[in-house]
Protein backbone atom coordinates (compact mmCIF):
# COMPACT_ATOMS: atom_id res chain seq x y z
CA UNK A 1 0.00 0.00 0.00
CA UNK A 2 1.51 3.34 -1.03
CA UNK A 3 1.00 6.25 1.34
CA UNK A 4 0.01 9.54 -0.28
CA UNK A 5 0.35 13.08 1.06
CA UNK A 6 -1.79 15.57 -0.82
CA UNK A 7 -0.65 19.19 -0.50
CA UNK A 8 -3.46 21.53 -1.58
CA UNK A 9 -6.19 18.92 -1.07
CA UNK A 10 -9.08 21.42 -1.15
CA UNK A 11 -8.23 22.80 -4.58
CA UNK A 12 -9.12 21.69 -8.08
CA UNK A 13 -6.14 19.33 -8.41
CA UNK A 14 -6.83 18.13 -4.87
CA UNK A 15 -10.38 17.15 -5.83
CA UNK A 16 -9.25 15.33 -8.96
CA UNK A 17 -6.51 13.49 -7.05
CA UNK A 18 -8.91 12.29 -4.37
CA UNK A 19 -11.32 11.13 -7.07
CA UNK A 20 -8.57 8.95 -8.58
CA UNK A 21 -7.37 7.70 -5.18
CA UNK A 22 -10.93 6.70 -4.24
CA UNK A 23 -10.98 4.37 -7.25
CA UNK A 24 -7.87 2.50 -6.02
CA UNK A 25 -8.15 2.06 -2.29
CA UNK A 26 -6.39 -1.31 -2.58
CA UNK A 27 -3.23 0.45 -3.85
CA UNK A 28 -3.16 3.85 -2.16
CA UNK A 29 -3.88 5.16 1.29
CA UNK A 30 -4.24 8.87 2.06
CA UNK A 31 -1.62 9.65 4.71
CA UNK A 32 -2.00 13.43 4.94
CA UNK A 33 -4.17 16.20 3.53
CA UNK A 34 -3.35 19.90 3.63
CA UNK A 35 -5.08 23.22 2.94
CA UNK A 36 -4.70 26.90 3.61
CA UNK A 37 -7.95 27.83 5.38
CA UNK A 38 -10.83 25.82 3.88
CA UNK A 39 -11.51 23.92 7.12
CA UNK A 40 -15.02 22.82 6.19
CA UNK A 41 -13.92 21.20 2.95
CA UNK A 42 -10.89 19.60 4.59
CA UNK A 43 -13.18 18.24 7.31
CA UNK A 44 -15.36 16.53 4.66
CA UNK A 45 -12.25 15.10 3.01
CA UNK A 46 -10.97 13.83 6.39
CA UNK A 47 -14.34 12.21 7.04
CA UNK A 48 -14.17 10.37 3.74
CA UNK A 49 -10.45 9.46 3.56
CA UNK A 50 -9.49 9.26 7.26
CA UNK A 51 -5.90 10.54 6.86
CA UNK A 52 -3.44 10.17 9.75
CA UNK A 53 -2.63 13.90 9.59
CA UNK A 54 -4.34 17.09 8.38
CA UNK A 55 -2.41 20.34 8.10
CA UNK A 56 -3.96 23.79 7.78
CA UNK A 57 -1.73 26.76 7.12
CA UNK A 58 -4.11 29.00 9.03
CA UNK A 59 -4.14 28.56 12.82
CA UNK A 60 -7.82 29.49 13.40
CA UNK A 61 -8.92 27.20 10.58
CA UNK A 62 -6.88 24.40 12.14
CA UNK A 63 -8.65 24.94 15.47
CA UNK A 64 -12.07 24.83 13.75
CA UNK A 65 -11.09 21.63 11.97
CA UNK A 66 -9.80 20.04 15.17
CA UNK A 67 -13.08 20.72 16.99
CA UNK A 68 -15.18 19.37 14.11
CA UNK A 69 -13.06 16.20 13.86
CA UNK A 70 -13.27 15.60 17.61
CA UNK A 71 -17.06 16.00 17.58
CA UNK A 72 -17.28 13.53 14.70
CA UNK A 73 -14.99 11.03 16.44
CA UNK A 74 -12.36 11.16 13.67
CA UNK A 75 -8.82 10.44 14.84
CA UNK A 76 -6.94 12.57 12.28
CA UNK A 77 -4.20 14.60 13.97
CA UNK A 78 -4.38 18.32 13.13
CA UNK A 79 -1.29 20.50 12.72
CA UNK A 80 -0.93 24.06 11.48
CA UNK A 81 1.45 26.62 10.00
CA UNK A 82 4.03 26.89 7.24
CA UNK A 83 6.60 24.78 9.09
CA UNK A 84 4.04 21.98 9.52
CA UNK A 85 3.35 22.03 5.75
CA UNK A 86 7.04 21.64 4.99
CA UNK A 87 7.43 18.92 7.63
CA UNK A 88 4.52 16.86 6.34
CA UNK A 89 5.94 17.00 2.81
CA UNK A 90 9.09 15.28 4.12
CA UNK A 91 7.37 12.89 6.55
CA UNK A 92 9.07 9.47 6.32
CA UNK A 93 5.71 7.68 6.47
CA UNK A 94 4.58 8.82 3.02
CA UNK A 95 5.85 7.55 -0.34
CA UNK A 96 4.11 9.92 -2.73
CA UNK A 97 3.66 13.68 -2.37
CA UNK A 98 1.19 15.45 -4.64
CA UNK A 99 2.39 19.07 -4.91
CA UNK A 100 -0.86 20.92 -5.61
CA UNK A 101 -0.58 24.10 -3.54
CA UNK A 102 -1.06 27.12 -5.78
CA UNK A 103 1.72 29.67 -6.29
CA UNK A 104 4.98 30.37 -4.49
CA UNK A 105 3.57 28.91 -1.24
CA UNK A 106 4.22 25.51 -2.82
CA UNK A 107 7.96 26.01 -3.15
CA UNK A 108 9.25 25.09 0.32
CA UNK A 109 7.04 21.99 0.77
CA UNK A 110 8.00 20.79 -2.73
CA UNK A 111 11.69 21.30 -2.01
CA UNK A 112 11.26 19.44 1.29
CA UNK A 113 9.63 16.50 -0.50
CA UNK A 114 12.53 16.47 -2.97
CA UNK A 115 15.09 16.49 -0.15
CA UNK A 116 13.26 13.58 1.45
CA UNK A 117 13.52 11.56 -1.80
CA UNK A 118 9.78 11.30 -2.47
CA UNK A 119 7.89 10.52 -5.64
CA UNK A 120 6.56 14.02 -6.31
CA UNK A 121 3.53 14.49 -8.52
CA UNK A 122 4.18 18.08 -9.55
CA UNK A 123 1.21 20.32 -10.32
CA UNK A 124 2.70 23.39 -8.62
CA UNK A 125 4.54 24.74 -11.69
CA UNK A 126 5.47 27.93 -9.82
CA UNK A 127 8.03 25.95 -7.77
CA UNK A 128 9.97 25.13 -10.94
CA UNK A 129 9.55 28.62 -12.38
CA UNK A 130 11.00 30.13 -9.20
CA UNK A 131 13.79 27.68 -8.54
CA UNK A 132 14.22 25.32 -11.49
CA UNK A 133 17.95 24.70 -11.12
CA UNK A 134 17.76 24.23 -7.35
CA UNK A 135 14.70 21.98 -7.40
CA UNK A 136 16.05 19.76 -10.18
CA UNK A 137 19.41 19.45 -8.41
CA UNK A 138 17.67 18.61 -5.11
CA UNK A 139 15.60 15.94 -6.86
CA UNK A 140 18.69 14.35 -8.40
CA UNK A 141 20.88 14.59 -5.28
CA UNK A 142 18.26 12.85 -3.14
CA UNK A 143 16.96 10.18 -5.50
CA UNK A 144 13.52 11.77 -5.64
CA UNK A 145 11.21 11.37 -8.66
CA UNK A 146 9.62 14.45 -10.19
CA UNK A 147 6.68 13.41 -12.33
CA UNK A 148 4.80 16.10 -14.26
CA UNK A 149 1.08 16.43 -13.57
CA UNK A 150 0.64 19.64 -15.60
CA UNK A 151 -1.25 18.33 -18.63
CA UNK A 152 1.21 19.60 -21.27
CA UNK A 153 4.28 18.30 -19.46
CA UNK A 154 2.63 15.03 -18.70
CA UNK A 155 1.79 14.73 -22.40
CA UNK A 156 5.40 15.46 -23.39
CA UNK A 157 6.71 13.07 -20.77
CA UNK A 158 4.49 10.34 -22.22
CA UNK A 159 5.84 11.11 -25.72
CA UNK A 160 9.53 11.14 -24.72
CA UNK A 161 11.75 8.04 -24.60
CA UNK A 162 11.55 7.86 -20.79
CA UNK A 163 13.00 4.63 -19.42
CA UNK A 164 13.29 5.66 -15.81
CA UNK A 165 11.53 8.36 -13.86
CA UNK A 166 14.74 10.26 -13.11
CA UNK A 167 15.52 11.36 -16.64
CA UNK A 168 15.33 15.08 -17.13
CA UNK A 169 17.57 15.78 -20.15
CA UNK A 170 16.38 15.08 -23.67
CA UNK A 171 18.54 17.49 -25.68
CA UNK A 172 20.59 14.58 -27.10
CA UNK A 173 17.70 12.13 -27.56
CA UNK A 174 16.79 13.09 -31.15
CA UNK A 175 14.25 15.68 -30.06
CA UNK A 176 13.96 18.69 -32.38
CA UNK A 177 11.40 20.65 -30.36
CA UNK A 178 8.68 20.43 -27.79
CA UNK A 179 5.34 21.83 -28.91
CA UNK A 180 3.13 23.02 -26.06
CA UNK A 181 -0.51 23.42 -26.97
CA UNK A 182 -2.50 26.36 -25.55
CA UNK A 183 -6.23 26.83 -25.60
CA UNK A 184 -5.85 30.63 -25.79
CA UNK A 185 -8.18 30.99 -22.82
CA UNK A 186 -11.58 32.71 -22.71
CA UNK A 187 -10.44 35.81 -24.64
CA UNK A 188 -8.71 34.14 -27.58
CA UNK A 189 -11.25 35.62 -30.02
CA UNK A 190 -11.73 38.98 -28.30
CA UNK A 191 -10.60 42.31 -29.76
CA UNK A 192 -8.03 44.47 -27.93
CA UNK A 193 -10.77 47.04 -27.24
CA UNK A 194 -13.01 44.45 -25.52
CA UNK A 195 -10.15 43.32 -23.26
CA UNK A 196 -10.16 46.73 -21.56
CA UNK A 197 -13.36 45.88 -19.68
CA UNK A 198 -12.70 42.26 -18.70
CA UNK A 199 -14.05 41.24 -15.25
CA UNK A 200 -12.57 38.59 -12.92
CA UNK A 201 -15.69 36.48 -13.48
CA UNK A 202 -15.09 36.47 -17.23
CA UNK A 203 -11.38 35.76 -16.83
CA UNK A 204 -11.83 32.67 -14.65
CA UNK A 205 -14.36 31.10 -17.04
CA UNK A 206 -11.95 28.83 -18.90
CA UNK A 207 -13.45 27.36 -22.09
CA UNK A 208 -12.13 23.79 -21.59
CA UNK A 209 -10.82 23.20 -18.07
CA UNK A 210 -12.25 23.59 -14.59
CA UNK A 211 -9.40 25.00 -12.46
CA UNK A 212 -8.56 27.30 -9.54
CA UNK A 213 -8.84 31.07 -9.94
CA UNK A 214 -5.16 31.92 -10.23
CA UNK A 215 -4.32 29.45 -12.99
CA UNK A 216 -7.54 30.37 -14.81
CA UNK A 217 -6.47 34.02 -14.98
CA UNK A 218 -3.00 32.85 -16.07
CA UNK A 219 -4.65 30.93 -18.91
CA UNK A 220 -6.55 34.04 -19.94
CA UNK A 221 -3.34 36.13 -20.16
CA UNK A 222 -1.41 33.11 -21.44
CA UNK A 223 1.09 33.61 -18.63
CA UNK A 224 0.12 30.02 -17.85
CA UNK A 225 1.74 28.96 -21.12
CA UNK A 226 4.72 31.18 -20.37
CA UNK A 227 5.19 29.51 -16.97
CA UNK A 228 4.83 26.17 -18.74
CA UNK A 229 7.60 27.02 -21.21
CA UNK A 230 9.90 27.61 -18.22
CA UNK A 231 8.61 24.44 -16.55
CA UNK A 232 9.33 22.42 -19.73
CA UNK A 233 12.84 23.85 -19.90
CA UNK A 234 13.68 22.53 -16.42
CA UNK A 235 11.82 19.23 -16.67
CA UNK A 236 13.18 18.20 -20.06
CA UNK A 237 16.51 20.04 -20.37
CA UNK A 238 15.79 21.86 -23.64
CA UNK A 239 16.53 25.55 -24.32
CA UNK A 240 13.82 28.18 -24.94
CA UNK A 241 14.36 28.12 -28.71
CA UNK A 242 13.39 24.42 -28.82
CA UNK A 243 10.15 24.95 -26.90
CA UNK A 244 7.27 26.27 -29.01
CA UNK A 245 3.69 27.19 -28.27
CA UNK A 246 0.80 26.61 -30.66
CA UNK A 247 -2.83 27.60 -30.13
CA UNK A 248 -5.17 24.59 -30.16
CA UNK A 249 -8.63 25.63 -29.05
CA UNK A 250 -10.07 22.17 -28.34
CA UNK A 251 -7.45 21.12 -25.70
CA UNK A 252 -7.56 17.55 -27.00
CA UNK A 253 -3.89 17.30 -27.97
CA UNK A 254 -2.15 18.14 -24.70
CA UNK A 255 1.29 18.68 -26.27
CA UNK A 256 3.71 17.13 -28.75
CA UNK A 257 7.33 16.10 -29.26
CA UNK A 258 8.87 16.74 -32.69
CA UNK A 259 11.79 14.36 -33.44
CA UNK A 260 14.68 14.87 -35.88
CA UNK A 261 13.36 12.14 -38.21
CA UNK A 262 10.12 14.07 -38.74
CA UNK A 263 7.99 12.03 -36.33
CA UNK A 264 5.70 14.14 -34.18
CA UNK A 265 4.30 12.28 -31.17
CA UNK A 266 1.21 13.71 -29.50
CA UNK A 267 -0.73 12.71 -26.40
CA UNK A 268 -4.49 13.19 -26.64
CA UNK A 269 -7.41 12.86 -24.28
CA UNK A 270 -10.43 14.61 -22.88
CA UNK A 271 -9.44 17.72 -20.92
CA UNK A 272 -9.60 16.19 -17.44
CA UNK A 273 -6.72 16.34 -14.96
CA UNK A 274 -7.52 12.88 -13.62
CA UNK A 275 -5.61 11.47 -16.62
CA UNK A 276 -2.19 12.98 -15.80
CA UNK A 277 -2.79 12.41 -12.08
CA UNK A 278 -3.51 8.70 -12.60
CA UNK A 279 -0.61 8.45 -15.04
CA UNK A 280 1.94 9.84 -12.58
CA UNK A 281 0.48 8.09 -9.56
CA UNK A 282 0.80 4.64 -11.10
CA UNK A 283 3.78 5.15 -13.46
CA UNK A 284 5.04 2.97 -15.12
CA UNK A 285 1.73 1.14 -14.76
CA UNK A 286 -1.61 2.40 -16.07
CA UNK A 287 -4.70 2.61 -13.90
CA UNK A 288 -8.29 3.70 -14.48
CA UNK A 289 -8.76 7.44 -13.94
CA UNK A 290 -12.51 7.66 -14.37
CA UNK A 291 -12.07 9.80 -17.50
CA UNK A 292 -14.48 9.01 -20.35
CA UNK A 293 -12.97 7.50 -23.52
CA UNK A 294 -12.12 10.14 -26.11
CA UNK A 295 -14.82 10.37 -28.76
CA UNK A 296 -12.99 11.72 -31.82
CA UNK A 297 -16.13 11.79 -33.92
CA UNK A 298 -17.85 14.21 -31.58
CA UNK A 299 -14.64 16.27 -31.27
CA UNK A 300 -14.82 16.49 -35.07
CA UNK A 301 -11.85 18.74 -35.77
CA UNK A 302 -8.56 19.86 -34.26
CA UNK A 303 -7.53 23.47 -34.99
CA UNK A 304 -4.07 25.03 -34.75
CA UNK A 305 -2.99 28.65 -34.94
CA UNK A 306 0.16 30.65 -34.18
CA UNK A 307 0.31 32.27 -30.73
CA UNK A 308 0.88 36.00 -31.09
CA UNK A 309 3.12 37.92 -28.68
CA UNK A 310 1.18 41.10 -29.53
CA UNK A 311 -2.09 39.49 -28.41
CA UNK A 312 -0.48 37.73 -25.41
CA UNK A 313 2.38 39.92 -24.07
CA UNK A 314 2.71 37.75 -20.93
CA UNK A 315 3.91 34.86 -23.08
CA UNK A 316 6.64 37.07 -24.54
CA UNK A 317 7.70 38.22 -21.05
CA UNK A 318 8.06 34.61 -19.91
CA UNK A 319 10.29 33.71 -22.87
CA UNK A 320 12.39 36.81 -22.20
CA UNK A 321 12.75 35.92 -18.51
CA UNK A 322 13.76 32.35 -19.34
CA UNK A 323 16.39 33.58 -21.79
CA UNK A 324 17.66 36.15 -19.25
CA UNK A 325 18.11 33.33 -16.69
CA UNK A 326 19.02 33.63 -13.00
CA UNK A 327 16.26 34.95 -10.77
CA UNK A 328 14.40 36.55 -13.72
CA UNK A 329 11.77 33.82 -13.75
CA UNK A 330 11.29 34.11 -9.96
CA UNK A 331 10.75 37.86 -10.45
CA UNK A 332 8.33 37.15 -13.32
CA UNK A 333 6.40 34.69 -11.16
CA UNK A 334 6.17 36.99 -8.13
CA UNK A 335 5.05 39.99 -10.21
CA UNK A 336 2.45 37.81 -11.91
CA UNK A 337 1.09 36.53 -8.58
CA UNK A 338 0.77 40.08 -7.24
CA UNK A 339 -0.83 41.36 -10.46
CA UNK A 340 -3.31 38.47 -10.68
CA UNK A 341 -4.36 38.95 -7.03
CA UNK A 342 -4.82 42.67 -7.64
CA UNK A 343 -6.93 41.92 -10.73
CA UNK A 344 -9.09 39.43 -8.81
CA UNK A 345 -9.57 42.07 -6.09
CA UNK A 346 -10.57 44.67 -8.72
CA UNK A 347 -7.46 46.77 -8.01
CA UNK A 348 -5.95 46.29 -11.47
CA UNK A 349 -7.30 46.05 -15.01
CA UNK A 350 -6.83 42.79 -16.88
CA UNK A 351 -4.81 44.51 -19.62
CA UNK A 352 -2.44 46.00 -17.02
CA UNK A 353 -1.30 42.62 -15.67
CA UNK A 354 1.41 42.42 -18.36
CA UNK A 355 2.50 46.02 -17.71
CA UNK A 356 3.02 45.35 -13.99
CA UNK A 357 5.13 42.28 -14.78
CA UNK A 358 7.18 44.07 -17.43
CA UNK A 359 7.91 47.05 -15.19
CA UNK A 360 8.83 44.79 -12.28
CA UNK A 361 11.24 42.82 -14.46
CA UNK A 362 12.86 46.09 -15.53
CA UNK A 363 13.20 47.39 -11.97
CA UNK A 364 14.43 44.32 -10.07
CA UNK A 365 17.84 43.06 -11.11
CA UNK A 366 18.40 39.39 -11.83
CA UNK A 367 20.93 37.37 -9.79
CA UNK A 368 22.36 33.87 -10.11
CA UNK A 369 19.62 31.56 -8.84
CA UNK A 370 21.32 28.51 -7.31
CA UNK A 371 20.69 29.52 -3.70
CA UNK A 372 17.30 29.42 -1.96
CA UNK A 373 17.91 32.63 0.00
CA UNK A 374 18.69 34.54 -3.21
CA UNK A 375 15.49 33.21 -4.83
CA UNK A 376 13.33 34.12 -1.83
CA UNK A 377 14.87 37.61 -1.75
CA UNK A 378 14.14 38.08 -5.48
CA UNK A 379 10.56 36.98 -4.81
CA UNK A 380 10.25 39.48 -1.94
CA UNK A 381 11.73 42.40 -3.89
CA UNK A 382 9.58 41.65 -6.94
CA UNK A 383 6.38 41.58 -4.84
CA UNK A 384 7.30 44.90 -3.25
CA UNK A 385 8.05 46.44 -6.64
CA UNK A 386 4.91 45.05 -8.31
CA UNK A 387 2.74 46.51 -5.52
CA UNK A 388 4.48 49.87 -6.05
CA UNK A 389 3.68 49.74 -9.77
CA UNK A 390 0.01 48.96 -9.02
CA UNK A 391 -0.46 51.82 -6.52
Ligand X SMILES: NC(=O)C1=CN([C@@H]2O[C@H](COP(=O)(O)OP(=O)(O)OC[C@H]3O[C@@H](n4cnc5c(N)ncnc54)[C@H](OP(=O)(O)O)[C@@H]3O)[C@@H](O)[C@H]2O)C=CC1
Annotated binding site for NADPH: 10-13, 124, 126, 212
Q: How far is the CB of 234 from ligand DXP (least distance, A)?
A: 16
CB 236, CB 128: distance < 8 Å = no
Q: Are 104 and 333 in contact, with CB atoms under 8 Å apart?
A: yes
Cα 83 to Cα 64: distance, rounded to the nearest angstrom: 19
Exposure class string for 196-216: b at 16+ Cβ within 10 A, else e: eebebeebbebbbbebbbbbb
- Rule CB under 6 A: say whether 123 interacts with ligand X: yes
Question: Which residues are CB-contacts of 21 (< 8 A; sequence separation ≥ 6)?
Answer: 4, 28, 30, 49, 281
Q: How far is the CB of 365 from Mn ion (least distance, A)?
A: 30
Q: Are 179 and 244 in contact (CB under 8 A)?
A: yes
Q: Is 150 in the site for Mn ion (CB under 5 A)?
A: yes
Q: Residues forming the annotated binding site?
A: 10-13, 124-126, 150-152, 183, 206, 212, 219, 224-225, 228
Considering the complex, state which of residue 201 and residue 261 has its C-beta at the smaller distance from ligand DXP.
201
Strand ordering across the sheet containing 119-122: 77-80, 53-56, 28-35, 2-7, 96-99, 119-122, 145-148
Shortest distance, position 332 Cβ to Mn ion, whole Å: 17
- One symbol per residue from 265 to 294: x for binding ligand DXP (CB under 6 A), - otherwise; what is it? --------x---------------------
- Residue with Cβ nearer ligand DXP (33 or 182): 182
Bridge partners (DSSP) listed for residue 180? 245, 255
Inter-residue contact 350 to 195 (CB < 8 Å): yes
For position 186 contacting ligand X by CB under 6 A, the verdict is no
Residues 142-171 that bind ligand DXP (CB under 6 A): 150-152
Minimum distance between the CB of residue 273 and Mn ion, rounded to whole angstroms?
9
Packing angle between helix 328-344 and helix 125-141, nearest 10 degrees? 140
101 binds, among ligand X, ligand DXP, Mn ion, none (CB under 5 to 8 A by kind): ligand X
Restricting to residues 211-250, name those near ligand DXP by CB under 6 A. Answer: 215, 219, 224-225
Contact positions toward ligand X, by CB under 6 A? 8-14, 35-38, 57, 85, 100-102, 105, 123-126, 150, 209, 211-215, 273
Amino acid sequence: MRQVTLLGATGSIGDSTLDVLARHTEKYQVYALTANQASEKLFEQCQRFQPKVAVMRDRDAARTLQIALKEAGIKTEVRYGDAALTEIAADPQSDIVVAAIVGSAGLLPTLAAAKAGKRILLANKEALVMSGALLMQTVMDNGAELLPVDSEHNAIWQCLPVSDSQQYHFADKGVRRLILTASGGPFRDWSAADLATVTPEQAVAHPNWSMGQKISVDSATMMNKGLEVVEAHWLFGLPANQIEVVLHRQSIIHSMVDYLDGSVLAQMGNPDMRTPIANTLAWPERIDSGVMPLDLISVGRLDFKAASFAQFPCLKLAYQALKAGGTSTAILNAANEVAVSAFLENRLKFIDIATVIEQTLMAVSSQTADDLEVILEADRLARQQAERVIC
